[in-house]
Amino acid sequence: MPEPRPIPAGLVRASLRDLVLPMGLRVDLVEIVGQNLEIRQEPFEFKIENPATLDVHVTEAALAEFLNAAAPAGIRGFEVRIKPAGIEVEATAKLLMEVRVLAVCTLTVKDQTALYVKLESAEVLSGLKGISPRSLIESRLQDLNPILDATQFPVAATIDSVSLEVGLLRLQGSVAPK
């Protein structure tokens, strides 16, 4: 019996909507575009000449939904606003009493594999004035960072850049079968 021939595809374009990652974050859109994909039947595998491009979109609504579901101890009622200058996260925190706080964060990519959140500023909006929530927020971020680690993906992936647009977090990189 002849060996099965590979099945070639010149262009591959895949769009995934509302993809829920194992950590619980809903990714609004994942677009993958690649060329020269080859599918082998036995053993079943995918091969691609060069990694495909990856474009991931997460809205502020999806981030707020994730934070409210994860609800770190003592923090609730998350509201998220994504702006080019940073991500504003407003929430109610229990310090000495419940206070409404606002944190402004930015995102950085390290080694093309890890996405980190950096706290830029933190302030109390209502409740006890004069208390700084910065150390509380920084300790929570230290436990969460990196918030995304591409080495844990079931495919070979890189994170080339992350950008913030009005209402949207956009991550770009590459992906290929391992």
Task: Assign 24 to helix, strand or coil.
Answer: coil
CA distance 31 to 125: 38
pLDDT of the chain along its 178 residues, tens only?
Answer: 677 888 999 999 999 999 998 888 899 999 999 999 999 888 888 889 899 999 999 999 999 999 898 877 778 899 999 999 999 999 998 767 788 889 999 999 999 999 999 999 988 887 666 667 788 788 777 878 888 899 988 889 999 999 999 999 999 999 998 8
**Contact assessment for residue 174 and residue 52, using Cβ atoms and an 8 Å cutoff:** yes
Q: Where do the domains of the chain lie?
A: 7-176
Query: CA geometry: angle at 159 spanning 155 and 19, to 5°?
Result: 60
Q: Which residues contact 23 (CB under 8 A, 6 or more apart)?
A: none
The reported pLDDT for the residue numbered 136 is 76
Q: What is the pTM of this model?
A: 0.84
Single out the residue of 48, 45, 43 nearest to residue 10, CA to CA: 48
What is the C-alpha end-to-end distance of the chain, expressed in Å?
29
The reported pLDDT for the residue numbered 141 is 79
CA distance 63 to 79: 9
**Contact assessment for residue 133 and residue 99, using Cβ atoms and an 8 Å cutoff:** yes
Q: Which residues contact 44 (CB under 8 A, 6 or more apart)?
A: none
**Residue 125 structure tokens:** 């909006």
